[in-house]
Homo-oligomer: A and B are copies of this chain.
Amino acid sequence: MSRFYYAVKVEENKAWFDDHEYRHFQVMRVEEGQRIVFTDGNGALYAGIVSFARDRTTARITEKISQIERSPSQRVAVGIAHAQWDREEVLIEKGTELGVTDFYLFPSRYSKYRDINLNKVSYTLRKAIKQSENPLLPTFEKFGRLEEALALVERYPQRILLQPSSPTDLFDTRRQSGPALLFVGPEGGFHPDEVQLCIRAGFTPCSIGKRILRLETAALCGFVWATLLSSVD
């Protein structure tokens, strides 16, 4: 179990926790007046004294332990075509562990699933930062169409489209420092028209080696490339 908790709101010397977090306190047998450590998901880690008053759990902040800044130049974003939740969950969880900072979700022509439950995304992200003791909660955004998601490219100078048939190997592609955006298609890949749209938007299609990888294995390799291999600034 994680060593810290997530506060939905932090103001001056007080923090608020929601029902989801209350259940975590229960599981951990946290008692009234106990010292806890928690994050605001925005890079800060606090210590405080917990209080379970009526239907509201709060903490009196006694100490700001640390503050990590979000570095815009280190953003690593992943765009994922709607897929079965089990698969999305693994990608969001592992992506967060590895350091993905932003998740974008969109439909794709070959997606068997037409939508995604944003509450599930939110709780999965929260669970993943707690698990990996990362006080920065990744952002997420849902787009109604792939074309809308393509407008994201302005923020990310490096854009990779995972495409099994591509002759370009991702791991032969030098990862520059600076913001990167990685698009992951549905099972069966993007439709050729969608690939063309992405290429016109500035994406480079890349495959991963000559092996046949399951989609989630390929996506995880992409996350490793995007999050662990950047040059030093």
Contact = CB atoms under 8 A, between A and B. Distances in A.
Contacts of A165: none
Interface string A1-43: 0000000000000000000000000000000000000000000
A217 interface: yes
Interface residues of A, number: 22
Protomer copies? 2
Interface in A99-134: 99, 131-134
Contact of A212 (B132, B212, B220, B229): B132
Contact of A209 (B209, B220, B228): B228
B97 A228 contact: no
A92 interface: no
A211 B171 contact: no
A229 B171 contact: yes
A132 B171 contact: no
Given A97-B212, A99-B209, A132-B214, 11 more contacts: A98-B209, A98-B211, A98-B213, A131-B212, A131-B214, A132-B212, A171-B228, A209-B227, A217-B220, A220-B224, A224-B224
